[in-house]
Structure 1
Amino acid sequence: MLSSPVAKILFLDGVRGAAVVFVVTQHSGYMHDIYMGAVGVDAFFVLSSFLLTMIFMKKSIKLIAEPASYRKWGWTLADYFSKRFFRVYPLFALVAITLWLLPFEYKKRYYLVKQPEDFNLFQTLTFHPEHRHYLMWTLPLEISHYFILPAFVLVVLKMRRFWWVSFIPLYVWVIHEGLYTTRNNYYRQPLSKHLSTFLAGSMAAVIFVELEAWIKSTGFKFGTLHVIGLRVVEAVLIAAYLSVVFRGLFFNWLGLPLQPAKHYIMPFTSVKLSLLFVIEMIQPSTVSSIFEWIVLRFLGKISFSVYLLHVFVIFTPPIKEETNYYDKT
């Protein structure tokens, strides 16, 4: 039995809430050795691509079935871009304008601007690569991906029942990029450095939509063995995900401990996380129930606000200078 659309949204909102907790934890000076902030940002990217791909793909399937006119397709694309843009850009612009109005000492304190001349309002608002100060680097990448996503979905739909053929080389590329591409100087990184992360989320969404349609069309029912098999795969994915996030577990158990990183990096978690989304969407378990907790869901609803604004709290001198982390929180 597939979970209801409402349950799906609750579950994913909770994951988004957990991701923003990871980011705040990193910036508050706790658990610096495991890059919680990077893990949270990657979760944002995967979630964004997964949800948007799923929504746009389902809408595109309906338009193809009608069949819709070019005008209706145009309105659909315009609606898609406008909703995505105006959902996140106004707060981004408000924060940028507020920083511009504040004295330089506040720009330096809260968004780590090095010199007064380094902050240019117009270039910040237009996503110039040299003016993505501190937390402002993620939104330009997400908006850039918005333009690629519709093309990806339409190509997949054009391939019809052979959509899975293209996913074999794509997954090989995503895994290769994840294992061998170092993402560290994230302030000035182009979309290409994170494209594999977004693509992992989009491919997982396609897999879910195709599986959901197949289950509905065939009347397939999950038996006990099917559920056990899914739970085994899910357990392995969770263990692998936690091993990468906490830089231990499987690696230590297998006698292959990871060397301490010499600089801040973004670990490769996108494929594992996105496949976990598919499993929980198809056959929900206690895992999704945990993320449906109302506190995580609320944080998920306001996650972008928390992401951009939390530095105005934790970098305030009385809090930042507190030596005891637990007193700080």
Structure 2
Amino acid sequence: MQASVQPTKFFPALEGLRGIAIIAVIIYHNFPYGDSLFGWLGVDLFFVLSGFLITSILFRSVNIDKPSAYFKKFYIRRALRIFPLYYLFLFAFLFLLPALGIFNNEVSEYQEDKFWFIFYGQNWLFTNNFPETSHCLNHFWSLAVEEQYYIFWPIIIILLKKPRYLLIFLIGFLLVLFGFRSYIWNAHYEGFNYTNFYTFTRFDGICIGSIIAILSIQKKEFILRHTASIVTGLAALNFIFYFANTSGNLPYLAFIGYTTFAAMFGILVYELAYGNANWLKKIFSGNMLRFLGRISYGLYMFHWPVHYFLRKPLFIFFNDSLHLPKVYNQILIAFITTAISIVFSLISYYFFEMKFLRLKEKFQ
């Protein structure tokens, strides 16, 4: 009889870190001055977490299961986690609302490009043709990046298998990405927004999360021994490219900024998983953070459409009734729409998503 993969170790602090990631994303999208508070880094933190956790799962499975079981278990379990709510959203926004004649302007462009969403290619669509009037599903670009990773990474792992070869591949791939981005920047392609949504700009965080997972298998103490050197090197890179950006108009974030931030997140992920800082683990294992981390998938999907559709009527209502300064009005609206999104996410998690999550137990 074929051996079954033992359940991957659960890290409560990483669930809390996922809670931090969704808080950052919500601050960026819903609250005023969210970009100044570095809320946009929440997505990169999600990418690093995904790379670390998925690689840990796959590497454990590839060394125990037959290839057929390896692929079957991974893809079915991922599908049960991701597809139900994702395609429910697509059905609602691409088919149901248009059929009912509701929010036509907000979903019209998505209708024209629905196949990009159905096959997880919307980030490539946004790179070349960002929606002008439809915005309520724009945050789905990051889901496409992750899904593209889920498709190809299991294949690469089973082909290379050994941690050393996988590390060489990932480091080489990152170098290729740097070179490719440099070429695009020098070529000055018009209308090609590669700085925000492009797969080969945003894959770095997932690659770094994967590297952290492999190092934890191959050389578990490596990062702990070299943390100071890694942080110093990343700081130097940030310093160099910051000045390159100010003098030469280099797209700093797209070229190296996302990468260095992701590397810092990678060190934090490693510390929370395998480090000795128990006080840090205790902070990130708090009940509230873990609660938000548990429902973060649904909350990511709900938070922006809820805020997008409610912000204007709520602003008019509060402006007329409370006469608050604009920024206070915006903060109040952000808290209200976030609370509503949490309620929707709770309902979704316990009454919809859990029905599919329970099926994952059949594919341990």
1:162 CA displacement: 6.2
Residue 302 (1) aligns with residue 304 (2): no
Point out which structure has higher relative CO (alpha carbons under 8 A, 6+ apart).
1
Q: Is the 8 A contact 1:178 1:196 kept in 2?
A: no
Partner Cα distance (1:197, 1:74) in 2: 29
Q: Note if contact 2:19-2:290 (Cα within 8 Å) is conserved in structure 1.
A: yes
Q: Per the alignment, do residues 15 and 172 of structure 1 end up closer, same or farther by CA in structure 2, a change over 3 Å counting?
A: same
Q: Does structure 1 conserve the Cα–Cα contact (< 8 Å) formed by 2:205 and 2:262? A: yes
Compared CA separation, residues 91 and 288, structure 1 to 2 (3 A): same
Aligned ranges for residues 1-329 of structure 1 at < 5 Å? 8-34=10-36, 36-63=38-65, 72-99=66-93, 100-102=95-97, 106=103, 108=105, 112-113=106-107, 115=108, 118-119=111-112, 121-129=114-122, 130=125, 133-158=137-162, 165-166=168-169, 169-170=172-173, 172-173=175-176, 185=193, 189-212=197-220, 232=228, 236=231, 267-268=257-258, 269-285=261-277, 286-315=279-308, 316=310, 317-319=312-314, 323=326, 324=328, 325-328=330-333, 329=335
CA change 1:19–1:163 in 2 (3 A) is: closer
Equivalents in 1 of 2:214, 2:76: separation in Å?
A: 23
Q: In 2 relative to 1, CA 82–172 (structure 1 residues): closer, same or farther, beyond 3 Å?
A: same
- CA separation in 1, counterparts of 2:89 and 2:195? 17
Change in CA separation of 1:185 and 1:298 when aligned onto 2, cut-off 3 Å: farther
Aligned-pair distance for 1:206? Answer: 0.7
Name the CA distance, whole Å, in 1 between partners of 2:250 and 2:169.
Answer: 37
Q: Is residue 18–residue 300 contact of structure 1 (8 Å, CA) maintained in 2?
A: yes
Classify the secondary structure of the residue corresponding to 1:62.
coil
**What are structure 2's unaligned runs of at least 5 residues?**
1-7, 132-136, 186-191, 319-325, 336-364
**Structure 1 residues 224-276: Cα deviation after superposition (integer angstroms, max 9, x where no partner):** xx97x567568x47x959x97xxxxxx6xxx96986x9999664122221233
Cα drift, residue 288 of structure 1:
2.7
Change (3 A) 1:307 1:179: farther
CA distance in 2, matches of 1:162, 1:128: 29
AA partner of residue 44 (structure 1) = F
CA contact (8 A) 1:17 1:297 kept: yes
Distance 1:164 1:308, change over 3 A: closer
Q: Aligned in 2, Cα 1:84/1:311: closer, same or farther, shift over 3 Å?
A: same
Q: Percent identity?
A: 23
Structure 1 pair 138/284, CA: closer, same or farther in 2 (3 Å)? same
Structure 2 CA distance for partners of 1:107 and 1:93, relative to 1, 3 Å:
farther
Q: CA deviation at 1:33?
A: 3.8
- Counterpart secondary structure, 1:30: coil
C-alpha distance 167-105 of structure 1, shift in aligned 2 (>3 A): closer
- In structure 2, relative to structure 1, the CA distance for the partners of 1:28 and 1:107 (3 Å cut) is farther
CA contact (8 A) 1:14 1:292 kept: yes
Partner Cα distance (2:195, 2:96) in 1: 22
Give the C-alpha shift of residue 147 in structure 1: 1.9
TM-score (norm 2): 0.64
SS at match of 2:203: helix
Structure 1 residue 153: Cα displacement = 2.1
Deviation at 1:83, TM superposition (A): 0.9
What do residues 154-181 of structure 1 show as CA deviations (whole Å, max 9, x unaligned)?
A: 34424x6666555654554567779998
Q: Distance in 1 between matches of 2:269 and 2:51?
A: 12
Helix, strand or coil at the partner of 1:89: helix
Matched residue of 1:204: which SS? helix
What are the superposed Cα offsets for residues 258-313 of structure 1, whole Å, 9 maximum, x if unpaired?
Answer: 86x99996641222212332233221413332211111111111111011111243
Where 2:31 maps in the other structure, the secondary structure is coil
Aligned length: 289
SS at match of 1:90: helix
* CA–CA separation in structure 2 for the residues paired with 1:107 and 1:36: 33
- Unpaired stretches in structure 1, ≥5 consecutive residues: 64-71, 216-221, 245-250
Quote the offset at 1:10 in angstroms: 1.0
State the AA in 2 paired with 1:207. L
